[in-house]
Copies of this chain bind each other. A is one copy, B any other.
Amino acid sequence: MKYCANCGATLARRVPPGDSLLRDVCDACGSIHYVNPKMVLGAIPVWEEGGQARMLLCRRAIEPRYGYWTLPAGFMENDETAGEAAVRETLEEAGARIELQGAFSMISVPRVNQVHVFYRARLLDLDFRPGVETIEIALFEEERLPWKDIAFRTVALTLKRWYADRAKGAFGFHAEDLK
């Protein structure tokens, strides 16, 4: 950030009065440009049939992690709720319709200034198709899950917690950090 988004003047980097952190400050118009962590929202879309849970994963058609498998997820937008973001991302990336069943994980990743939140979800039908950011979609039984080819640590951790909770017969909420 070099120029003031409000007036176009060159920004200075310093601690404003009453603050304790370095900020991008505009001496021309007085604006302080705060930068905060972004939320990534996703779903854990599951198709249950005959006591078997099949997990919907998307193979990424974009960088980072092209070709690796992920849960549908992406940046939460203004004017939507966290749940709406999870439903929208699942529709955009997998063309899949889901019903949310509750928030499941919230994982802070301070290295990239993100917080990843995943909701448990029931897949409403099998009429999905890859969106533009997805190469292919597949439903995995637990023993066939591509653990070595999962795109992101937050997705792998969320999947691990999901299978552990399912084995216990009770889904909790998991607030964790990945540093």
Contact = CB atoms under 8 A, between A and B. Distances in A.
The 3 closest A-B pairs by CB, nearest first: A173-B173, A81-B108, A103-B175
A163 interface: no
A32 B115 CA distance: 21
Interface of A: 1-8, 10-11, 18, 21, 24, 33-39, 75-84, 102-103, 106, 108, 110, 113, 115, 117, 119, 132, 172-173, 175, 177, 179
Contact of A7 (B3, B75, B113): B3
Contact of A113 (B79, B117, B172): B79
A170 to B, nearest CB: 12
B81 A177 contact: yes
Contacts of A11: 5
Given A3-B5, A81-B108, A81-B177, 8 more contacts: A1-B5, A4-B5, A5-B5, A36-B75, A78-B113, A79-B113, A82-B108, A82-B115
B37 A76 contact: yes
Contact of A35 (B6, B78, B84, B119): B78
Contacts of A172: 173
Contacts of A2: 5-8
B81 A110 contact: yes
Contacts of A1: 5-6
A78 B119 CA distance: 24
Contacts of A84: 110
